[in-house]
Amino acid sequence: MKKVRMGMVGGGPGAFIGGVHRMAANLDGKIELVCGAFSRDAEKSRLMSQELNLCPSRCYDSYQQLFEQEASLPADQRMEFVSIVTPNHLHFEIARLALESGFHVLCDKPATLTLDEARELAVVQKRSGRLYALTHTYTGYPMVVAARELVARGELGAIRKVAVEYHQGWLADTNAESGKQAAWRLNPEQAGISCCMADIGVHAANLAEFICNDGIDQLSADLNASHNRQLDDDGVVMLRFASGARGMLSASQIAVGEENNLRIRVYGEKASIDWSQEQPNSLKLMHADKPFEVLRSATDAAAELGGITRTPPGHPEGYLEAFANLYQQFAEQVAALRQQSTSGNNPLPGINEALRGMAFIETVVAASASEQKWHTMPDLTNIPNTGDSL
């Protein structure tokens, strides 16, 4: 397969997530970074471009310039998709222009800052005919995919209860705001209406919906802001799913000592599962009437999980490999479109997840501020001309 050509917007010197995206894109050797607009500061963009050994002519001063000039290159040279890794408040504008300029888009989460923007983006994407993917990274873990398949095959029976939590501790300190990562997340102008729920709560909600192939329908919420912060840094949500399953979601950035503790348990009528992001290669499968089992990614699930595990049994894989799975699947879809074909049905999160994520955030924030107990998620089916995500 000819390598898929990627451009990048954002990810300049010192930016954390840009580096993660590049490692994820590198890992399998199927994607080549050919151009970028790495910073609003042209000099910084150039420095990064040199560090990455890019051709100087394809280091751009702005994303507008990038889309314009790349579009003018011969088809077999120009960037095929753009990876957007800027601060969150810029995602929407850049993604819209990329799609309108004819490029596929792989965007760091969140897709937009508001649900209205997400609705608009959905319309643009549908019209463009271009691919759009959102890096809900945790769905790239092999055992998350295995969990989804267990549920889909009915091994758990009807789902009754979902307990999902995402606890971090890095914002516990009063002085956390002095750090770059915290400052923008706690600033409504850059982060929108929520910090904790928008940053990590939405991952937890997405994970629950992904594994259960079910949608959150109603919720009740209690968000919390420490240190007189303007945005939430902690919260609890009671969930009711479309299927009738109940659930709870807890997210926190002030849970002192927690690192990145995303954990989900799904209790079904016949069996239950338990998965933790910090031990991602194991999936506990509990039964009503026999000892619990622990499924291991490269041993018990490797065959059916196909290309998304890379190592033999007992050689742990981690976050970068999960991230790389999203890149690999996206690259396969891009390559397939070269020949007008499709690359099969994979569950890469896309525009629908963008819509649902923004709907979740807005509903949770409204619910927390309300004395009314239950709040219903908005109807997302009436996007004109929007169907499947990709």
In the window 238-297, what residues touch a second copy (CB under 8 A)?
238, 240, 246-248, 250, 252, 254-261, 265, 267-272, 277-281, 285-288, 290-296
Q: Which stretch binds a second copy (CB under 8 A): 72-80, 114-122, 168-176, 376-384?
A: 168-176
Long-range contacts at 180-186 (CB < 8 A, ≥ 24 apart): 180/14, 181/16, 184/87, 184/88, 185/231, 186/229, 186/230, 186/231, 186/233
Q: Is 137 helix (H, G, I), strand (E, B) or coil?
A: helix
> Which 16-45 positions form the footprint of a second copy (CB under 8 A)?
16, 19-20, 22-23, 26-29, 33
Long-range contacts at 271-276 (CB < 8 A, ≥ 24 apart): 271/150, 271/155, 271/156, 271/157, 272/156, 273/147, 273/150, 273/151, 273/156, 273/211, 275/143, 275/144, 275/147
Question: Does 56 sit near a second copy (CB under 8 A)?
Answer: no
| Binding residue for a second copy, selected from 49, 139, 168, 389, defined by CB under 8 A | 168
Question: Does 371 sit near a second copy (CB under 8 A)?
Answer: yes
d(CA 333, CA 346): 9
- Sheet with 104-107, strands from edge to edge, namely 31-37, 4-10, 81-85, 104-107, 132-134
The tokens of 368 are what? 């927390």
Q: How many alpha carbons lie under 13 Å from residue 283 in its C-beta half-sphere?
A: 26
Residue 44 or 284: the one with the smaller Cβ distance to a second copy is 284
Residue 86 or 220: the one with the smaller Cβ distance to a second copy is 220
Question: Does 234 sit near a second copy (CB under 8 A)?
Answer: yes
Residue 190 or 276: the one with the smaller Cβ distance to a second copy is 276
Question: Does 372 sit near a second copy (CB under 8 A)?
Answer: yes
Report, in Å, the least distance between residue 44 CB and a second copy.
17
Q: What is the chain's alpha carbon radius of gyration, rounded to the nearest angstrom? A: 21
> Which 125-144 positions form the footprint of a second copy (CB under 8 A)?
none
Question: Does 77 sit near a second copy (CB under 8 A)?
Answer: no
Question: Does 54 sit near a second copy (CB under 8 A)?
Answer: no
Cα separations in angstroms, 189 against 83, 230, 235: 23, 11, 21
Question: Does 49 sit near a second copy (CB under 8 A)?
Answer: no
* Of 364, 208, 48, residue with least CA distance to 7: 48
Residue 221 or 390: the one with the smaller Cβ distance to a second copy is 221
Question: Does 123 sit near a second copy (CB under 8 A)?
Answer: no
Q: Which helix (H) or strand (E) holds 220?
A: strand 216-224
Distance of alpha carbon 156 from the chain centroid: 26
d(CA 380, CA 311): 39
| Binding residue for a second copy, selected from 121, 134, 216, 298, defined by CB under 8 A | 298
Report, in Å, the least distance between residue 375 CB and a second copy.
10
Q: Which stretch binds a second copy (CB under 8 A): 113-121, 170-178, 194-202, 350-358?
A: 170-178
* Amino acid at the residue 272: S
Q: Is 373 helix (H, G, I), strand (E, B) or coil?
A: coil
Number of chain positions touching a second copy (CB under 8 A) = 90
Question: Does 177 sit near a second copy (CB under 8 A)?
Answer: no
d(CA 387, CA 101): 21
Given a contact cutoff of 8 angstroms between Cβ atoms, the answer to whether 287 and 155 are in contact is no
Residue 122 or 146: the one with the smaller Cβ distance to a second copy is 146
Report, in Å, the least distance between residue 8 CB and a second copy.
12
Question: Does 225 sit near a second copy (CB under 8 A)?
Answer: no
Question: Does 154 sit near a second copy (CB under 8 A)?
Answer: no
Binding string, 301-340, against a second copy, x = CB under 8 A? Answer: ---------xxxxxxxxxxxx-------------------
The tokens of 267 are what? 């209790």
| Binding residue for a second copy, selected from 135, 194, 220, 386, defined by CB under 8 A | 220
Question: Does 110 sit near a second copy (CB under 8 A)?
Answer: no
Report, in Å, the least distance between residue 275 CB and a second copy.
13
Given a contact cutoff of 8 angstroms between Cβ atoms, the answer to whether 201 and 141 are in contact is no
Residue 39 or 272: the one with the smaller Cβ distance to a second copy is 272
Question: Does 203 sit near a second copy (CB under 8 A)?
Answer: no
Residue 126 or 263: the one with the smaller Cβ distance to a second copy is 263
